[in-house]
Structure 1
Amino acid sequence: MRHGKSARYGRYTGGPDPLAPPIDLTEALHEISEDVMAGYSTEQAMREYLQRGGPGMTGLDELAGRVQKQRRDLLSRHRLDGTLEQVRELLDDAVLEERKQLARDICMDDTDRDFREMQLMNLPDSTAAAVTELSGYDWQSSGAREKYEQIKDLLGREMLDQRFAGMKQALESATDEDRAAISQMLNDLNDLLDKHARGDDTQQDFDDFMARHGDQFPENPQNIEELIDTLAQRSAAAQRMLASMTPEQRQELTEMSNQAFGSPELMDQLSRLDANLQGLRPDEDWTGSEQFEGDQGLGLGDGTGALQDLAELDALAEQLSQSHAGSTLSDVDIEKLGRQLGDDAAASARALAELEQALRDSGLLRRGSTGDLRLSPQAIRRLGKTLLKDLGRLSGRQGQRDTRHAGAAGELTGGTRAWQFGDVEPWNVTRTITNAITRTVSEGHDPRSGLRLSVEDVELQETEARTQAAVALLVDTSFSMAAEGRWLPMKRTALALHQLISTRFRGDELQLINFGRYANPVHIDELTTMAPMYEQGTNLHHGLLLATRFFRKHPSMQPVLLVVTDGEPTAHLMAHGESWFSYPPMPETLHTTVAELDRTRRLKAEVTFFRLGDDPGLEQFLDAMANRVGGKVVSPDVADLGAAVIGEFLHSRDPHFPSSF
């Protein structure tokens, strides 16, 4: 505080909280990616995540459930005869007061008293008919007359409150001048709406109307369209309230309406207003109805408000469902949600909308050439990094394996050599400085006066060579992989291996090959988003054929073949390129598969089979295949598949590295 001034602190209301922590997309990306790998489209996976929510974040499903509960509670608490009930009570009180007065008035003519008593005793059972019949009655009791006048005043205020929220309270102590001002407002409003319907109105007409009657519209509309929207929503809700009443209640209310303020003029003005608004906003729901089953009576104004709340809740339910094409959470009306469910619900919806927008803006999701949403390469790298970390620590290995050839960067041999253009090995500082001193002295200079290095002085520390590998990962995508719950672990394995090679063994080449009825080379993002393939056929022959071609494209690299499968070969390629399927496997299928594996042996490939499941035939077949080429068979649990494949790959790159890690 300075110079006597004070400062007030409160919640920031100028938009998103500038001090709020950035949205963490890690959990959302992981959950979305899991669903994508399980077969969902990226758009659907994101929708599913937003529907269920995340840690500490309420999802759309829960918000929608709260909307439906609020709707059920509203209908189960209330009924719509509150105004009729109030009128009946006032009428009963007025008749009772009048009969007491008749009994006390000793000066009254007995014939007149008897006539009045008979008139009061024979009032119709219908409240509306009784109110109408007493409209010309000469009340002897001032208290009874006041009660009857309250009926007319209540009806007038309720009728207005149906169309203009808050009018019932505003006119509670109204004078004749106040009622005249309301009547004038209705006339002016109807004239303005008539003019607008003809297309003859101007903004000035609206401004003039608001200058005269703006205090009657707390919504503060800025133009006639906003004014019409507000009035039409309320008027349509009033019509739905009437439709929700029983036929008897509706008839009673209609018959009493002309008693509002003791004159039918108000209903004429309101009927004209309803007709104008229905013509200008025919798309509003003017004919719907609801089934109220509670015991708390609502007046006409409050009942209309309840119908508006129900319409608002229905709109929120549709927005939260995100069922329309192109829907986003920006469609959700946060203000209405807060009004219906409270600030916590509004905050949850706002957080979900911010998360959705952050996902779209982060670069983790992008539109494909066909317009569909996909995981971006950045997202796939991020997911692969997470999966690789989950599979176990790699102890900071840099991905080299020993061979005893001097040259490329690797383990130090103890020797040195002169630097050549393109070399990146570390300098031997001692040899380099010695060379510089020797050269400086030979040139007749004193090294103590300054020493300058020259390119020819530099010597490098000689290292062992690093062998590059051509790695082919063959993954079975036949029907059984999806049916037995092996689809997702297979994808996680491929993604983790791709991440390992692309970040720690960058000199290696990786080819992913999926094989079902046919085999296909696939990019990692294609495999990640591939839906389960419910086709019969395990064409390992075709997969090995593609792997052999891949190895031959990289003749200077060490071939590494990793095969993940859960079934014996049941298909092979025929001479004309068609796939032949047969179960149980035909001898020809087994023969062609073994023949292709022999070709990888001639290329000196290191072969490992990963057998999933307990099929004895598969176990026998893979054991024979591994023995034939000097390879091995690993039988991991499906949950350990990724760790097994990564471990075997690292072991193939460094025999001293354990197969499991």
Structure 2
Amino acid sequence: MAAGYRFTDYIPPQDDKTGFESLLQIFMQLITITSGDVGEALSWLSSLDKQYNLTNNEYGIGNFIEDLKAKGYIDENEQQKGSFELTSKSEINLRRSALEEIFGKLKKSGKGNHTTPHTGQGDEASTDRREFQFGDTLEQIAMTDSIRNAQLNHGLGDFFLTENDLEVTEREHKSQTSTVLMIDISHSMILYGEDRITPAKKVAMALAELITQKYPKDTLDIIVFGNDAWQITIKDLPYLQVGPYHTNTVAGLELAMDILRKRKAANKQIFMITDGKPTCLKEGIRYYKNSFGLDRKVVNKTLTLAAQCRRIKIPITTFMIASDPYLKQFVDEFTKVNNGKAYYSSLKGLGHLIFEDYSRNRRKTF
């Protein structure tokens, strides 16, 4: 033993998770990939078990399925005998798992709101002081500072307070933020050997859980867009699938604008996750489609809506998960017209970018 040091045998850290907890973590990942198909997820889990020996003689996949039922994660499907479906407990677990996976390293804090750069009669005291003004409340008066001012101004012999002696604590205004998250579900989200929809779903679930937990006064609306656009609920996210669709960005933006017009929050914004160019418009009952290059007719309509959003102070942040130069050029033009922001992200960094942008926006009023 060297002086000042003591050496012992190295014992590698042990996985303290039970067999059920370890398998549950994998199962939840598979459920997201299979869009809520319990049977397919269990089949994949069995294949992984065969390849990587996830279970042992004491605890097998059959035990895991029984525990899933007993603990309330899955139920028998009443319409399809012999099959299973997710419960609300699983849906909540998926959102919390996504939040932990994507934002898990963030420092936890209490429930809050979104600060604005304005001061005055707000919700929460700040550290700033200023002179008393008409309309300030009694609770805002900083008594210690005010008494000190009176002593300095009038001396200790004949103590009295005047309005000029009073100091008050600034209060920060809080504002709600309304966000619409647009998710591209066109066919290209699963083309080229890359699953892009699963990370998008995870980000949406994590963002929904974050807002629910930390910013309960905020609103989050989620819409998907392919040939058309429609609104979905948070509950629908695990089951979201890509369709044989083109990319009707115009329909998505129109629906997002309609939703935000009804919101009374001071801050309004659109987050758009997409990997492709706009390729589709709906004209009456027919669709105008062109997947070859950037169609000027489709692009012009999309840029017109970007400008409309700018006029009504709705910034659009585009998270582009593709790297084609001509697509970047389009997104740059779209962003310039809207005066918004654009990120060219890998799938791995998508969640952190969205959280950083959301956090930054909550500190200002658009």
Q: Normalising by structure 1, what TM-score?
A: 0.43
CA distance in 1, matches of 2:28, 2:64: 15
Correspondence for 2:229: 519
Letter in 1 for 2:101: D
1:402 equivalent among 115, 119, 125: 115
CA distance in 2, matches of 1:577, 1:406: 53
CA separation of 1:375 and 1:543: change in aligned 2, threshold 3 A = same
Deviation at 1:653, TM superposition (A): 1.2
Q: If you compute each CA radius of gyration, which structure gives the higher value, 1 or 2?
A: 1
Correspondence for 1:581: 289
**SS at 1:53 equivalent:** helix
Letter in 2 for 1:615: D
CA distance in 1, matches of 2:214, 2:137: 27
2:189 equivalent among 472, 478, 481: 481
Q: What are structure 1's unaligned runs of at least 5 residues? A: 1-20, 60-343, 420-426, 432-460, 656-661
**SS at 1:556 equivalent:** coil
Q: Contact 1:29 / 1:379 at 8 angstroms: preserved in 2?
A: no
Q: Contact 1:470 / 1:560 at 8 angstroms: preserved in 2?
A: yes
**1:223-238 alignment runs, 5 A limit:** none
**1:158-237 alignment runs, 5 A limit:** none
Deviation at 1:527, TM superposition (A): 2.6
C-alpha offsets along residues 488-542 of structure 1, whole Å, 9 cap, x if unaligned? 2111111111111111111111111111122221123323222332x14111001
Identity over the aligned pairs, expressed in percent? Answer: 21
Bigger RCO of structures 1 and 2 (CA < 8 A, at least 6 apart): 2
Deviation at 1:357, TM superposition (A): 1.9
Q: Contact 2:175 / 2:265 at 8 angstroms: preserved in 1?
A: no
CA distance in 2, matches of 1:626, 1:22: 46
1:560 equivalent among 230, 252, 269: 269
CA separation of 1:524 and 1:29: change in aligned 2, threshold 3 A = farther
**1:266-285 alignment runs, 5 A limit:** none
CA distance in 2, matches of 1:369, 1:503: 33
C-alpha offsets along residues 182-208 of structure 1, whole Å, 9 cap, x if unaligned? xxxxxxxxxxxxxxxxxxxxxxxxxxx
Matched, 1:609 2:318: yes
Correspondence for 2:38: 42
Q: What are structure 2's unaligned runs of at least 5 residues? A: 1-15, 145-168
**SS at 1:514 equivalent:** strand
Q: Contact 1:572 / 1:579 at 8 angstroms: preserved in 2?
A: yes
Q: Which structure has greater helix proportion? A: 1
Deviation at 1:550, TM superposition (A): 0.9
CA distance in 2, matches of 1:407, 1:358: 54
Deviation at 1:559, TM superposition (A): 0.9
1:469 equivalent among 162, 174, 177: 177
Deviation at 1:367, TM superposition (A): 5.4
1:547 equivalent among 256, 260, 265: 256
CA distance in 1, matches of 2:310, 2:238: 30
Aligned length: 311
Deviation at 1:57, TM superposition (A): 6.4
Q: Which structure has greater strand proportion? A: 2
**1:63-212 alignment runs, 5 A limit:** none
User: How well do the aligned residues superpose, as a CA RMSD in angstroms?
Assistant: 3.3
Q: Which moved more, 1:390-399 or 1:551-560?
A: 390-399
CA separation of 1:370 and 1:624: change in aligned 2, threshold 3 A = farther
Letter in 1 for 2:221: Q
Q: Contact 1:23 / 1:358 at 8 angstroms: preserved in 2?
A: no
Correspondence for 1:212: none
**SS at 2:348 equivalent:** helix
CA distance in 1, matches of 2:204, 2:171: 32
Q: Contact 2:179 / 2:220 at 8 angstroms: preserved in 1?
A: yes
Matched, 1:592 2:305: no
**SS at 2:231 equivalent:** strand
CA distance in 1, matches of 2:142, 2:71: 45
